[in-house]
């Protein structure tokens, strides 16, 4: 069963796709700013009994570099079957859309993130036919945001940071910063990012802290809309 934390780790890119480029600028990987972003179908199934789906698939259109695809996969643990699946996803998407394809793997623990970075090779050791080097975002390279002004300036990235660092020792400070920053934006948007954060912190000790912050500091956490979103997330 897919967990709510799994869903939140890639859904934030559906809500705010530009987080992809902003997250990697700090790592000196200068992905160009998109002029348009398209959410594409995630079904990669061929006419055969085997079903394959990525978590989120986006098309980024840029002014100078053209278009490219970003396939987002949320990974909760090491899975030695995954590299072969990732190689399939990348090759299939490149063949289907005729566009350069980037695989982004999001993780909530450092050991999984380091493993997911690869490289993974397909083919015999003496002549590898394909090398997979996924881009990975995890606690090892996503900065913890503990400054309210910085969080308010980029709520989507602050939300992703809070989810990514949900198991860290300083998770409470990061969540308090995000809670304060959410008060500075439109209430409807704040509800969405608050719900994403709650989903992303599922099965984490920090979830209790986040619920306390929302119950005490914000009315939207108890709103009808918020309860509906929580119910949809559980389903």
pLDDT in single tens digits along all 235 residues of the chain: 455 666 676 777 777 777 777 777 777 877 788 878 888 877 766 555 445 688 899 999 999 889 999 999 999 899 998 999 999 999 999 999 999 999 999 999 999 999 999 999 988 777 888 899 999 999 999 999 999 999 999 999 999 999 999 888 889 999 999 999 998 888 888 888 998 899 888 878 888 889 888 886 555 545 554 555 555 555 5
Task: State the Cα torsion 34-39-44-46 to the nearest 10°.
Answer: -110
Q: CA 198, CA 163: separation in Å to the nearest integer?
A: 8
Residue 103 to residues 57, 116, 127, 208: CA-CA distances in angstroms? 9, 11, 23, 32
Strand order through the sheet with 56-62: 34-39, 56-62, 67-74, 101-106, 135-137
The predicted structure's pLDDT at residue 40: 81
Reference 69, options 84, 79, 54; nearest CA is 54
Helix axes 155-164, 187-200, angle to 10 degrees: 20
On whether the CB atoms of residues 215 and 182 are closer than 8 A, the answer is: no
On whether the CB atoms of residues 193 and 161 are closer than 8 A, the answer is: no
The predicted structure's pLDDT at residue 19: 77
What is the DSSP secondary structure assignment for residue 78, as one 8-state letter? -
Q: CA 35, CA 178: separation in Å to the nearest integer?
A: 28
Q: CA 84, CA 99: separation in Å to the nearest integer?
A: 20
Which residues touch 188 (CB under 8 Å, ≥6 apart)?
Answer: 225
The predicted structure's pLDDT at residue 168: 87
Residue 160 burial by Cβ neighbours in a 10 Å radius (0-12, 13-18, 19+)? buried
Q: CA 182, CA 178: separation in Å to the nearest integer?
A: 6
Residue 226: both structure tokens together: 């918020």
Reference 165, options 112, 207, 109; nearest CA is 109
Residue 218: both structure tokens together: 């914000």
């Amino acid at each position: 069963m897919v967990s709510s934390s799994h869903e939140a780790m890639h859904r934030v890119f559906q809500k705010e796709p530009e987080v992809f480029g902003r997250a990697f600028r700090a790592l000196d990987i200068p992905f160009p700013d998109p002029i348009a972003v398209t959410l594409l179908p995630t079904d990669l199934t061929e006419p055969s009994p085997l079903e394959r789906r990525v978590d989120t698939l986006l098309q980024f259109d840029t002014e100078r570099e053209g278009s490219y695809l970003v396939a987002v996969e949320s990974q909760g643990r090491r899975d030695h079957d995954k590299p072969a699946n990732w190689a399939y996803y990348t090759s299939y998407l490149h063949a289907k859309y005729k566009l350069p394809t980037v695989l982004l793997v999001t993780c909530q623990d450092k050991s999984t993130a380091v493993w997911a970075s690869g490289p993974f090779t397909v083919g015999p050791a003496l002549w590898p036919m394909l090398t997979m080097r996924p881009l990975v975002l995890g606690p090892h390279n996503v900065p913890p945001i503990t400054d309210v002004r910085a969080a308010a300036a980029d709520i989507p990235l602050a939300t992703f940071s809070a989810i990514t660092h949900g198991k860290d020792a300083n998770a409470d400070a990061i969540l308090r910063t995000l809670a304060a920053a959410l008060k500075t934006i439109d209430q409807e948007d704040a509800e969405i990012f608050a719900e994403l954060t709650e989903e992303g912190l599922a099965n984490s000790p920090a979830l209790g802290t986040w619920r306390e912050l929302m119950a005490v500091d914000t009315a939207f956490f108890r709103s009808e809309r918020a309860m509906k979103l929580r119910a949809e997330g559980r389903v």
